[in-house]
Structure 1
Amino acid sequence: MKRTRDTHKPRKIENKLFAKNYQLKFKELESRIGAAESLQEIIRMINAQVPLDELLHRAVRLAAIRQGAGACVLHQFDMKNEVVVQSASFGMEGIFKDGLIRPFKDLGPSGGGGYLEALQRRVPIYQNYPPYPQRVEEIQLNPDIPEPYKIERIALRTRYGASFAVPIYLQDTLFGGMVFYYKEAQQFNEEQIHLGLAFGEQISVALQNAYLLQEMEQRRKVAEGFRDIVKKINNTESLQDVLDFIVNKTEDLLECQCAALYTCEGDRILLQAIRGNFPLDTSTVVMNCGEGIIGTAITGKQPIIIPDIARLQYAHSAHAIDETHPLYLDPIHRQLDACIAVEYKAVMAVPLISQDRSYGALAFYYNEAHRFDPEELELTEVFASQAALAIENAMLRKQAAQLAAHAERDRLARDLHDSVSQSLFSANLIAQSLPKLWNTAPEQATNELENLIKLTRGAQSEMRSLLFELRPQALESAPLRDLVHHAMNAFTGKTLIPIQAELAIHGETPLAVKIALYRIIQEGLTNIAKHAGAQQVWLNLKGNSHCVSLIIQDDGKGFSVEKPHQGGFGLSIMEERARLAGASLTISSEVGKGSRITFIWKEEAGEYTDSDLDCG
C-alpha cells in the first residue's frame, strides 16, 4: 500500500504544476485580451473623432490600468523653448497638474536621468528607484533641484517606486513621452515593454489624426474667411465695414483676446477697428510712425513679435519666429505702452503692405505668454494683405469719385455753355433788335418776340435739366407731366422746332418707368435736334399708374433701321432703359420719311403692338 501511495505522489505534483501553469497562461491570455480591447478602444475613439483632450486622458487611464501601473503621464516636448509640458495624466492627483511646464535642464539624473536622451534615440527607458525612504532622501539632499520641484519629486517618490517611459513620434519628429509609474519595483519583461510601445503608437496615431483634423478645420476656416473678405471687398462695402470684418475674422482664427487694426494718416497712426478688451480709450489712441511696436512694424514693413512682454525688459533685442523675419525692437529706444503691457502678455503686429507701401498694421494681443508659430504669421500676413488691399481700393475709389466729380462738373459746364449760354446769347441778340423792328417791321418783331419767349423758356428748362443732374432727388419727386414739358421746352428753345404734343397722364407711374420715360424723351429729342433735320415733331404720351404709351415722331430725313448710324444715335441706350423699366421700345424709320419711337409699359408682362397704345 505504501508503494501505491508513492506512485501517485508525482502525479499530484504534476497536476499542481499543470494547474499553476494553466492559471498563469489564462491570466496572460486575459491580460493580452484586455490589452487588445484597450488598444481597440483607443482606435474606436480615434475613429469617432473624440475631442483630443478627452481622448488623451481616457487613453492614459486605459494604458495605466492594462500595464498594472498606478499612474501614467503624457509629456509633450517643446524642443525650441526647451521645456516639457504635461498634456494628460492619470493617478497624479496631488503631485502634478495637467499643463505643468518644466525646463529640460531640470530633468536631471534624480528626476529621470537619460529620459530625453533615450526618447530621442527611440528606445524605451525604465528604472527602479531606491527603496523607501532612501529614494526620498536622495531628492531632499540634492542641491541641484530647485525647492519647488523638490516638493513634486518627493511626493512622486513617496507614492511610486519605479517608472517606465516610451517615446511618441509624429512621423519622424519627437512629440514627447509616455511614462508609467509603479508602486513597487518591476522586472520590466518583454511583454510589458511591447505593450507600452503599442500604447505609445496608438497615442501617436491619435495625435496625428487630431492634428490633421485640426489643420483641415483651420484651413477651411481660413479659406472661408478669405473668401468672405474678398467678397466684401468686391461688393464695395464701406471701408470701415471691411476692416471690422477682417479684425473679427482674424481674432476668431488666432484665438487671441484682442485684435486691433491701425491705419496711417500722415505721420500719425490711428486705431481704426478693434475687437476684444482694449485697456485704453480707443478715441484717444494716436501714435507716431516709427514709435512703439505698431509704429516700428509699419515703418520697418516687417512683423513685430513679442512672445512674452514680461521678459522683454531683460533683453536688448528679440527676434521674429524664423530666420526670414529677423528683427527687432530695442526696448531702450522703443516704448511699449504701460497699460497694454499690464493687460496683455504677448503681442504680434503685422504691417498692412500693398505694392511696397505700408498702410497700417494688424495687432494681436494675448493674456498669457504665447509661442507664435510660422503658420500663425503666414495667416496674419495673408489677412493683413487683404486689409491693405481694401484700404488701397478705398483710396482708389475715392480718387475715382473725385475724378468723376471733376469730369461731371466739366460736362455740366460744357452743357451750360452749349445750351443755356447759347440760348441766352441768342435771346440777348433778339432783345437788342426788337426796339428797331417794332417800329419798322411790327410783324417780324412779333415773330421774334415769340422766338425770344421760346429761347428764354428753353434756357429755363435747360437749367432745370441741369439741376436734375445735380440733384437726382428733385428728378424723382417731379411729376411726369412737368418733366415732359421741361424736355420739350429745352428742345424748342434750342432748335426753334415746334412740337405738337398730346399729353393724357392720369395718376403716378412707378418711379423706374417715369425716369425711363424722361430719359428716353430727352435722348429722342436730342437725336432729332442733331441728326433728323426735321421741321416738325409730334409727341403723344398717354398713361396711368397701370400702363403708359409714348410716341415720338418727326418729319426729318430718317435712316435705315437695318443699317443704323455708327453708335446707333443712342438707340441702344434707350432700348436698355426701356428693358430695365420692364417696357418695350420699338424704333421705325425710313430714309426720307422721318422716324418714330414707340415706348409701351404695362404692369403685366407681354408683347404689345401699335393697336395697344391706347391704355385707356
Structure 2
Amino acid sequence: MGSGMDLAGRRKDGTEFPLEAGLSFIPVGNDLLVMGSITDITRRKQTEEILERRVEERTREIERRREVADGLRDILAVLNSNQSLDAILNHIAGQACRLLHADASAICRMGDEPGPPIVQASYGLPAHAGEGADALTLLAGFDMTGGPLPAGGEATTSGPQVIQHADSVRISSALHKPAKADPQPLLVEMSYNAVLTVPLGIKDEAYGSLMLYYREPRRFSAEEIELAYTVGDQTALAIENARLRTQVERTAVAAERSRIARDLHDSVTQTLFSASIIAEVLPRLWQRNPQEAERRLDELRQLTRGALAEMRTLLLELRPATLIEVELGELLRQLTEAIMGRARMPITLEVEGNTLLPPDVKVAFYHIAQEALNNVAKHARATQAWLRIVRNGDGAELTVRDDGRGFVLDKVTPEHLGLSIMHERAEAIGAQLQVESHLGGGTEVTIRWPAG
C-alpha cells in the first residue's frame, strides 16, 4: 500500500521539473519498513498537457462548428422568408461578419455601366460607405493576391482574393486595363488592414463579390476561405431566388392582365355591342311596336347595368385591396349583376347574417363564387341560378346552384371548369368544397368554412 504526492524538483541548473514522491509501508515481523521513491514525471505531465490542449481545441472546434451550423441555418431561414432582397442581403452581411469574425462586410454587384462595383448591402461599415463609395467598391473585383502583380498581369475574379496586410500589396482593376494602384490609402482610411473577398456568380455569370474587412492584419485559413465561399453561395442563392420571384410575379401579372383583357372582351365589350344594337333599332321599333320597344328598353337597361357591374368587377381585379375593404355581400351583389348582364339570366342572391369575414376567407369566397358563376354563364345552359351566403356563428357557407344541363363529375378532369383552382382556394383557408351535379339536374357548388 502506498501513497504519492506531486512535487516540484529543482535541477542543478536551477530549472524546476515535476516529480512524484511515493511512500510504501511494509510490515516485517513486529517492525514496519518504510520505502520511499521519487519519480520524474515530466513526460507524463507533458502528455497530460498535450491531451488537455487537444481536448480544449476539440471543444473549441465543436463549438465553432455548432456556431457555423447555427449561422448557416439562420441564413437559410431568412432565405425562405418573405423579406425583401435588401433585407436578406443585409442579414447575410451581418451573419458573415459573425461567422468569419470580421469587423465589417459588404456585398457588391457589378454596375450596369462600366465602372467600379456597387455596394448592395453592408454591415459594420461607416455611414458614408454606402452605394458608390469608391474607398470600398474599388477593391471589389480586383486581383488581390497578397503580393505585387507581375508586370502586365491580368486581374482575376475566379477565386478567393486576399489582402493580408494593407502595406503589402498592389492591385489591378478587373474592369479596365491592368494598372498599378496602391490599396493602402483605401484600407487605412477605413482603419482596415486585411480584406477577404470571394466572387459571387449566378448561373455561370459574374455578379459581384462578398467582401470581409478586418482591422488587424491576419492570415486566412483554408477553413475560413471555404466558409466564406459557403456564405457567398448563400448570397448568390438569395439573389437568384429574388430574380426568380420577380420573373414569376411579372409572369403572373402578365397572365392576369391577359385574363382581364379576355374578360373585358368576352363580357363588357360584347354587352356594350348588344346594347348599342338595341339602342339603334329602338326608335324605329317604338313607332311600330311600343310594347316590344318597352321590353327592349328594359333589356337595354339590364345590359347597361350589367356592363357597369362588370366594369366594377374588373376594377376589383385590378385593385385587390378593394376586395378586402368592401363587405362580402356587396361584392356578391356586384358579381351577380355582372353575370346577369352578360348571360341575360336571372340570378337570385340571398345574404343571411353578418358577412364580415377574415380577409383571406372573404377573398377566397368571392373568387370561388366568381368561378362557379362564370361556369354557369359559359357552360351550364341554365335558365336561372341562385347564390346564397349564410353566416353561422363563427363559420360561413356559400352555395351556387343552377338549373342547367349538369355533368358527370367523374368524367370531368380537375382542371376543367376551374375545379382544381376552387379546391386549392378552399384548402388554403381551411374550408371544404363540395360539388354535386347530375345530367339534366343542374349543378351545386358549396363551400363551408371552417371545414367539418
Give 1:301's aligned residue. Answer: 158
Partner SS, residue 382 of structure 2: coil
Give 1:345's aligned residue. Answer: 193
**CA positional deviation for 1:533:** 0.9
CA distance in structure 1 between the aligned counterparts of 2:347 and 2:265, rounded to whole angstroms: 24
Amino acid aligned to 2:308: Q
Give 2:46's aligned residue. Answer: 200
1:359 touches 1:391 (CA, 8 Å); kept in 2? no
Amino acid aligned to 1:338: P
* The structure with more radius of gyration: 1
Partner SS, residue 241 of structure 1: helix
Higher relative contact order (CA 8 A, sep 6+): 2
1:510 touches 1:545 (CA, 8 Å); kept in 2? no
Give 2:108's aligned residue. Answer: 262
2:100 touches 2:224 (CA, 8 Å); kept in 1? yes
Amino acid aligned to 2:206: S
Select 1:283's aligned residue among 118, 126, 130.
Answer: 130
1:108-156: CA deviation from partner (whole Å, max 9, x where unpaired): xxxxxxxxxxxxxxxxxxxx9xxxxxxxxxxxxxxxxxxxxxxxxxxxx
Quick one: structure 1 residues 401 and 244, their matched pair in 2 at CA, closer, same or farther if it must change by over 3 Å? same
Amino acid aligned to 2:305: R
CA distance in structure 1 between the aligned counterparts of 2:247 and 2:82, rounded to whole angstroms: 14
Quick one: structure 1 residues 195 and 311, their matched pair in 2 at CA, closer, same or farther if it must change by over 3 Å? farther
Q: Which has the higher helix share?
A: 1
Quick one: structure 1 residues 279 and 495, their matched pair in 2 at CA, closer, same or farther if it must change by over 3 Å? closer
Quick one: structure 1 residues 355 and 507, their matched pair in 2 at CA, closer, same or farther if it must change by over 3 Å? closer
CA distance in structure 1 between the aligned counterparts of 2:296 and 2:377, rounded to whole angstroms: 21
1:287 touches 1:295 (CA, 8 Å); kept in 2? no
**CA positional deviation for 1:305:** 0.9
- Between 1:434-443 and 1:261-270, the stretch displaced more is 261-270
1:250-287: CA deviation from partner (whole Å, max 9, x where unpaired): 212222222222222323422233333x3571236434
Give 1:251's aligned residue. Answer: 97
- Between 1:242-251 and 1:265-274, the stretch displaced more is 265-274
Select 1:334's aligned residue among 181, 199, 202.
Answer: 181
1:201-249: CA deviation from partner (whole Å, max 9, x where unpaired): 3332222222222222222222222222122212243212222222222
**CA positional deviation for 1:488:** 0.9
Alignment RMSD (CA, Å): 3.3
Q: When the two structures are superposed, what TM-score results if normalisation uses the length of structure 1? A: 0.60
1:426-479: CA deviation from partner (whole Å, max 9, x where unpaired): 111111121221112222222222222222112111111111111111111112
Within the alignment, does 1:405 sit opposite 2:262 as a pair?
A: no
Give 2:303's aligned residue. Answer: 455
2:171 touches 2:182 (CA, 8 Å); kept in 1? no
Within the alignment, does 1:34 sit opposite 2:2 as a pair?
A: no
Give 2:446's aligned residue. Answer: 598
2:120 touches 2:131 (CA, 8 Å); kept in 1? no
CA distance in structure 2 between the aligned counterparts of 1:279 and 1:599, rounded to whole angstroms: 57
Select 1:558's aligned residue among 406, 412, 415.
Answer: 406
Quick one: structure 1 residues 221 and 544, their matched pair in 2 at CA, closer, same or farther if it must change by over 3 Å? same
- 1:376-415 aligned within 5 A: 376-415=224-263
CA distance in structure 2 between the aligned counterparts of 1:444 and 1:299, rounded to whole angstroms: 85
Give 2:10's aligned residue. Answer: 68
- 1:466-485 aligned within 5 A: 466-485=314-333
**CA positional deviation for 1:498:** 1.5
Select 1:209's aligned residue among 55, 58, 68.
Answer: 55
Partner SS, residue 220 of structure 1: helix
2:166 touches 2:193 (CA, 8 Å); kept in 1? yes
Give 2:168's aligned residue. Answer: 311
Amino acid aligned to 2:6: G
CA distance in structure 1 between the aligned counterparts of 2:435 and 2:70, rounded to whole angstroms: 50
1:509 touches 1:545 (CA, 8 Å); kept in 2? no
Partner SS, residue 203 of structure 1: helix
CA distance in structure 1 between the aligned counterparts of 2:321 and 2:410, rounded to whole angstroms: 39
2:89 touches 2:235 (CA, 8 Å); kept in 1? yes
1:45-69: CA deviation from partner (whole Å, max 9, x where unpaired): xxxxxxxxxxxxxxxxxxxxx3537
Quick one: structure 1 residues 572 and 389, their matched pair in 2 at CA, closer, same or farther if it must change by over 3 Å? closer
1:576-613: CA deviation from partner (whole Å, max 9, x where unpaired): 43454454443332211222233444xxx685xxxxxx
CA distance in structure 2 between the aligned counterparts of 1:317 and 1:518, rounded to whole angstroms: 63
Quick one: structure 1 residues 294 and 280, their matched pair in 2 at CA, closer, same or farther if it must change by over 3 Å? farther
Partner SS, residue 497 of structure 1: coil
Q: When the two structures are superposed, what TM-score results if normalisation uses the length of structure 2? A: 0.81
1:269 touches 1:288 (CA, 8 Å); kept in 2? no
* Structure 1 unpaired stretches of 5+: 1-28, 36-65, 70-127, 129-160, 166-190, 319-326, 608-616
Quick one: structure 1 residues 212 and 541, their matched pair in 2 at CA, closer, same or farther if it must change by over 3 Å? closer
Partner SS, residue 274 of structure 1: strand
1:557 touches 1:592 (CA, 8 Å); kept in 2? yes
Quick one: structure 1 residues 247 and 581, their matched pair in 2 at CA, closer, same or farther if it must change by over 3 Å? closer
Give 1:271's aligned residue. Answer: 119
Partner SS, residue 293 of structure 1: coil
CA distance in structure 2 between the aligned counterparts of 1:282 and 1:221, rounded to whole angstroms: 29
Partner SS, residue 309 of structure 1: coil
Between Structure 1 and Structure 2, how many residues are aligned?
Answer: 414
Give 2:284's aligned residue. Answer: 436
CA distance in structure 2 between the aligned counterparts of 1:514 and 1:307, rounded to whole angstroms: 60
**CA positional deviation for 1:506:** 4.0
Select 2:293's aligned residue among 422, 445, 465.
Answer: 445
1:509 touches 1:546 (CA, 8 Å); kept in 2? no
2:135 touches 2:187 (CA, 8 Å); kept in 1? no
Select 1:424's aligned residue among 254, 258, 272.
Answer: 272
**CA positional deviation for 1:496:** 0.6
Quick one: structure 1 residues 550 and 209, their matched pair in 2 at CA, closer, same or farther if it must change by over 3 Å? closer
**CA positional deviation for 1:358:** 2.3
- 1:480-519 aligned within 5 A: 480-506=328-354, 508-519=356-367
Quick one: structure 1 residues 404 and 562, their matched pair in 2 at CA, closer, same or farther if it must change by over 3 Å? closer
1:520 touches 1:574 (CA, 8 Å); kept in 2? yes
Give 2:84's aligned residue. Answer: 238
Q: Percent identity?
A: 36
Quick one: structure 1 residues 564 and 385, their matched pair in 2 at CA, closer, same or farther if it must change by over 3 Å? closer
Partner SS, residue 300 of structure 1: coil
1:294-352: CA deviation from partner (whole Å, max 9, x where unpaired): 2315962322212121233xxx689xxxxxxxx9xx99713426252241222222222
Quick one: structure 1 residues 514 and 292, their matched pair in 2 at CA, closer, same or farther if it must change by over 3 Å? closer
CA distance in structure 2 between the aligned counterparts of 1:387 and 1:232, rounded to whole angstroms: 11
Quick one: structure 1 residues 164 and 336, their matched pair in 2 at CA, closer, same or farther if it must change by over 3 Å? farther
